[in-house]
Amino acid sequence: MNQTTATLIEQLAPKQLADHNLVPQTVMPGVLYEKRPARNRAGEIVPDLYNAWITLDNPKQYNSYTTDMAKGLILAFRAASMARDVVAVVFTATGDKAFCTGGNTKEYAEYYAGNPQEYRQYMRLFNDMVSSILACDKPVVCRVNGMRIGGGQEIGMAADFTIAQDLANFGQAGPKHGSAAIGGATDFLPLMIGCEQAMVSGTLCEPFSAHKAYRLGICTEIVPALKIDGKFVPNPTVITDRYLDEFGRIVHGEFKTGEALAEGKALLKQGEVDLSLLDEAVEKLCAKLLDTFPECLTKSFEELRKPKLDAWNRNKENSRAWLALNMMNEARTGFRAFNEGNKDTGREIDFTALRRALAKGVPWTPELIDSLMPGAE
């Protein structure tokens, strides 16, 4: 910066800036808000400018968001929006296992199950959380530090950019756990990966790799995170060394199987996870965003968000109403199964048993629900 500009700042900056924050910046438990110095393309710290790191901090529960954490995210994105010295938002989570696995299934099972009126209030917070990301006045970079599943995939896709470490899996959980991915995935996925692949992900709920997410168009960039003997290697459980199989079908990014998968898992155990390349890639993108006119950048991403925003605004209130009522039967059953199940009993109901009962016209009684719990006699 030249001396003239510096002098002008001294002379013209108001002594007292207006405070446009709705509430004094208080971050709720489970969400960290940190302004980290912004860097230029050369990697040097730029004085007086920052990137706001918003971090989901609930690693024991795979950074799933509780009711309080949903409030915290709304406040954090609002604070970042109003911070004049913030260039971009980095939206991430603690650790290297999970970015976010969606709504907190323990809270869903033990508080919201059978409580549609309570869940309707919660879903006001959820909807406002997704809307706060889509309305953020700064560009939002989702730093995928680990698996992005269920509502975690939904809030992640609300960001403008996604950079993922390549051990992360992506996907939905909806119909396997008693919900539907109508908290954003059914709005964003068709736009981002096409209707057919969106249908597969939103109904079958099979996880897919970061390489596949990158190929399908959900990621701006992916970086290796596994280091073996000090050297970064691509995710060893995923096919990354060829694009087609012998029949000309795309296999790049698909999970390995059989012996190859077993070898990949063994390699995974040998190595250590290092997210330094992920942070480098995130900082590099933020530096590029810094190198733009602020209002023109804002106008550009506001316009480019519109396809997601239009779909989201068209559906979010209907979705909220349906998800609330769904807490009376299938969500009540599915989230209880996940919460009460374990590795031995499994964490999903016997879908065949449920379908056979319903096919006979059996009503949703508490006894039927209890009989469907994993491990129920």
Cβ atoms 96, 102 nearer than 8 A: no
Stretch of residues binding ligand LSA72ZH7 (CB under 6 A), selected from 173-181, 241-249, 255-263, 281-289: 173-181
Site for ligand LSA72ZH7 in 24-43 (CB under 6 A): none
| Interface with ligand LSA72ZH7, residue 132, by CB under 6 A | no
Stretch of residues binding ligand LSA72ZH7 (CB under 6 A), selected from 98-106, 192-200, 216-224, 351-359: 98-106
| Interface with ligand LSA72ZH7, residue 103, by CB under 6 A | yes
Nearer to ligand LSA72ZH7, 79 or 173 (CB): 173
| Interface with ligand LSA72ZH7, residue 93, by CB under 6 A | no
Provide, rounded to whole angstroms, the least separation between the CB of residue 268 and ligand LSA72ZH7: 13
| Interface with ligand LSA72ZH7, residue 240, by CB under 6 A | no
Provide, rounded to whole angstroms, the least separation between the CB of residue 106 and ligand LSA72ZH7: 5
User: How far is residue 277's CA from residue 14's CA, in Å, rounded to a whole number?
Assistant: 40
HEC string for the chain: CCHHHHHHHHHHCCCCCCCCCCCCCCCCCCEEEEEEEEECCCCCEEEEEEEEEEEECCHHHCCCECHHHHHHHHHHHHHHHHCCCEEEEEEEECCCCEEECCECHHHHHHHHCCCHHHHHHHHHHHHHHHHHHHCCCCCEEEEECCEEECHHHHHHHCCCEEEEECCCEEECCHHHHCCCCCCCHHHHHHHHHCHHHHHHHHHHCCCEEHHHHHHHCCCCEEECCEEECCEEECCCCECCCCCECCCCCECCCCECCHHHHHHHHHHHHHCEECCHHHHHHHHHHHHHHHCCCHHHHHHHHHHHHHHHHHHHHHHHHHHHHHHHHHCCCHHHHHHHHHHHCECCCECCCCHHHHHHHHHCCCCCCHHHHHHHCCCCC
| Interface with ligand LSA72ZH7, residue 51, by CB under 6 A | no
Stretch of residues binding ligand LSA72ZH7 (CB under 6 A), selected from 38-46, 95-103, 189-197, 298-306: 95-103
| Interface with ligand LSA72ZH7, residue 78, by CB under 6 A | no
| Interface with ligand LSA72ZH7, residue 130, by CB under 6 A | no
Candidates 95, 150, 234, 236; binder of ligand LSA72ZH7 (CB under 6 A) is 150
| Interface with ligand LSA72ZH7, residue 208, by CB under 6 A | no
Would you give the binding string for ligand LSA72ZH7 spanning residues 295-334, x where CB under 6 A is met? ----------------------------x-----------
Report angle CA 235, 91, 280 to the nearest 5 degrees. 55
| Interface with ligand LSA72ZH7, residue 126, by CB under 6 A | yes
| Interface with ligand LSA72ZH7, residue 67, by CB under 6 A | no
Stretch of residues binding ligand LSA72ZH7 (CB under 6 A), selected from 149-157, 218-226, 240-248, 267-275: 149-157
| Interface with ligand LSA72ZH7, residue 173, by CB under 6 A | yes
Count, residues in the chain:
377
Provide, rounded to whole angstroms, the least separation between the CB of residue 143 and ligand LSA72ZH7: 18
Candidates 61, 203, 298, 371; binder of ligand LSA72ZH7 (CB under 6 A) is 61
Provide, rounded to whole angstroms, the least separation between the CB of residue 323 and ligand LSA72ZH7: 5
| Interface with ligand LSA72ZH7, residue 149, by CB under 6 A | yes
